[in-house]
Amino acid sequence: MNYAAGTQWSAAAMADYAGKNILVTGSNSGLGYEIAKFFAGKKANVIMACRSFSKGQQAAKSIRSYYHDACINIMELNLASLESVRCFVQGVRSMYTRLDLLFNNAGVMATPYTRTKDGFELQFGTNHLGHFALTGLLLELICSNLDSRIVTMSSAMNTLCPLKFDSLNKRTNYNKWLAYGQSKLANLLFAFELQRRLSRALSSTISIAAHPGWAKTNLQRHTGFFGYLNPYLAQSGAQGALPALFAATSSNVKGGEFYGPDGFMEMRGSPARAMVGERARNCEDAQKLWQISEEMTGVCYSFPMNRLAA
């Protein structure tokens, strides 16, 4: 592992984000809640994108019990529905002229075989395709800001299996863990390919990936054995959010990097550069995934050239 300059980094020392617009998917619980709470405490304008509006309200109420003047906007977003993604983006564009940070955080883990509203396997459809569509539709708002960043949450389980392009939606021989690993590999391939395309467009916006290690969240509700081990082996959600926060805020971060905990097997610890396997480095697979994702979602990216390129 290549350790970042952020080893033993503390998010508490970060400057205020007053006036900045931060969008966090899946922010009513788990890592997303911790990220939203952190930026609310830094005086940012936090957009909490939640599948359940009522749960988002409960989460916002909890955050405001810590920060009474928190600026929070709760918006409904179901990443398992492309219609919901498009409606959400329309709402964001009607209220904001720019986004400073986008956290592609929401996800599902090790679920029984299910399809999204658009017919995609649930984990691939939610974890990757939903965020692919969301990012593409919001790209103009993100790239209008010189210092914007896109942080996509992956997992150390991205190494479980290769991306099988011929069986992304097949129910035959479905294995919930391999499907999860495949979706997390897709997240990583997407984050890296997005950075390559941003660089070619001479954009100052950067794309970074992060993973939380083993963090105790309700994401493990379908995992059985692993859920039982949470109280004994998992770090807190707040600690698990640190790699994403470091990726989003540190001046030491560069586009196309991957961050996770620095401890044993990257399960817990302080933010550091994470290991990237050969599968995630495969540019041919990344380009193929991009093309397939455009075809499946109907979202084609347009990379606006920002002011730094002028």
| Tens place of pLDDT per residue across the chain (310 aa) | 343 444 467 777 778 899 999 999 999 999 999 999 999 999 999 999 999 999 999 999 999 999 999 999 999 999 999 999 999 999 999 999 999 999 999 999 999 999 999 999 999 999 999 999 999 999 999 999 888 999 999 998 888 889 999 889 888 999 999 999 999 999 999 999 999 999 999 999 999 999 997 666 665 454 555 555 555 466 788 889 999 999 999 999 999 999 999 866 657 788 999 989 999 999 999 999 999 999 999 999 998 765 554 4
Rounded CA gap, 240 and 269, in Å? Answer: 8
Among 33, 96, 174, 180, the one annotated catalytic: 180
Q: pTM for this one? A: 0.91
Catalytic, 17? Answer no
Rounded CA gap, 139 and 141, in Å? Answer: 5
